[in-house]
Amino acid sequence: MKKILIANRGEIAIRVMRTAKKMGIKTVAVYSEVDRNMPHVTYADEAVCIGKAPSSESYLRGEKIIEVSKALNVDAIHPGYGFLSENADFAELCEANDIIFIGPKSKAITVMGSKLAAKETVKAYNIPMVPGIDEAITDVDKAKAIAKDIGFPILIKASAGGGGKGMRVVSAEDELESQMNRAISEATSAFGDGSVFIEKYVASPRHIEIQVMADTHGNIVHLFERECSIQRRHQKVVEEAPSTVLTPELRAEMGQAAIDVAKSCDYVGAGTVEFLLDENKNFYFLEMNTRLQVEHPVTELISNVDLVELQIRVARGEVLPITQDDLKIKGHALELRVYAEDPLNDFLPSVGTLETYKLPVGEGIRVDNGIGEGMDVPIYYDPMLSKLITYGKTRMEAIQLMKKAIDNYKVEGIETTLPFGKFVCDHDAFISGDFDTHFVKTHYSPEAIEAEYKEEAEVAAMVALQQYLKDRETLRLPN
């Protein structure tokens, strides 16, 4: 493997290129017209424009990317995450053109891309799943029987849509009929279909995911867990490794379950198995992400493993150079996704020019960055600018380092999630480890950040006043 094309943009493109260059592999960047001056374009050995700004006319053009790869004698394509990374048709297209797809086979992508198909596939391995039914119903009596079987509280969900429409949490049997009728009515109005699913309601879940890596020789390892419960709009913002709530026994049990999920679909490469963990430490399989995750750096730091390098080695047909016994957790890592979003305005996208953009540096600080000062933030893609990662011997050391790094990350011209990251790191619930996926809903408000801004401004004013008085007193001293 002498040349890799990275079918992506921004920080993940640079991240993959960095490892490829370390391994002596040439790199090819692709870019849209609006991304012509982005750092990943100049960082690569070669770069080719593949279309206009919209992703449908550039980064999602699989045939065009294959055409460029063949013209430049590319041996393999790394899809990063997003765009074509979980597109089974693109993986097949690579295979058909004798280009290595650095990821799983198309069959695994297809199976794990469907929640129902994934659940059916992993059944043989007795993977714990949220109790419920995999069929849609409208019969109240049948619903009562199912609810008694799985136990309250339960969650009623519309089968024909989402967005919270036709969704009800039911705590007791005497509420079931009225709540189900409401759910059916709402679902009928919203989607024209009143049928619903029923499953056990996990009241205070934590989102725990396990990183796995598998080679083509039947070897699979897990690289421990990541805690991903700090989310807004079901999208992760702060991640860490390891989790504060997993015991060694539970970690081993969840790790084996993740390995079994990978076995169930003949998985190859890097993948992540996601679980819900309830307040009683029961875990349930959610889904498998068949690609490298955004939050992979925290795993790399605590395991001292380069996941991209392992991806490339596995794609070359090599045997995994590590066994489960080789892997140990060392230290603690945090990651903040730095989005061009306004945390004071419901995390809405913030567009504009990066008038000032200075990254923090120092021991234990890593920034996977994909943009530069003076550049415009494109409106066409995911608004993540970078990932700010800190690593310490202990969790508290990593948190304190994150707060320092946030303070030293200078951005002007747009709003970012940096203040939200500071809010999280300062919050007692996060510091104590006593939080779940409802953290933002329960603890966060724009007023909380505004209050912090005000307090910081008052402290700065007091310091300035004291310095002024001290300087004035000094000037009055006689010679």
**Chain length of the chain:** 479
Task: Name the amino acid, one letter, at 46.
Answer: E
The CA distance from 333 to 176, in Å, is: 44
Question: Is there a cis peptide before residue 248, judged by omega within 30 degrees of 0?
Answer: no
The CA distance from 307 to 103, in Å, is: 12
Residue from 334, 120, 157 nearest 237 by CA: 334
Residue from 231, 211, 214 nearest 222 by CA: 211
CB atoms under 10 Å from CB of 16, counted, come to 25
CB atoms under 10 Å from CB of 233, counted, come to 8
The CA distance from 68 to 50, in Å, is: 8
Whether 429 contacts 435, CB under 8 Å = yes
Q: Mutual orientation of helices 173-191 and 140-150 as an angle, nearest 10°?
A: 120
Which residues on adjacent β-strands are paired with residue 3? 26
Residue from 297, 312, 263, 314 nearest 112 by CA: 263
* Cα dist from 382 to 150, 193, 404, whole Å: 39, 32, 26
In angstroms, how far is CA 110 from the centroid of its own chain? 20
Please give the structure tokens belonging to residue 386: 């970078």
Backbone dihedral angles phi then psi of residue 263, each to the nearest 5 degrees: -60, -35
Whether 166 contacts 127, CB under 8 Å = no
Q: Is 337 a catalytic residue?
A: no
Point out the catalytic residue in the list 61, 291, 337, 366: 291
The CA distance from 363 to 365, in Å, is: 6
For the annotated catalytic residues, the residue numbers are: 291
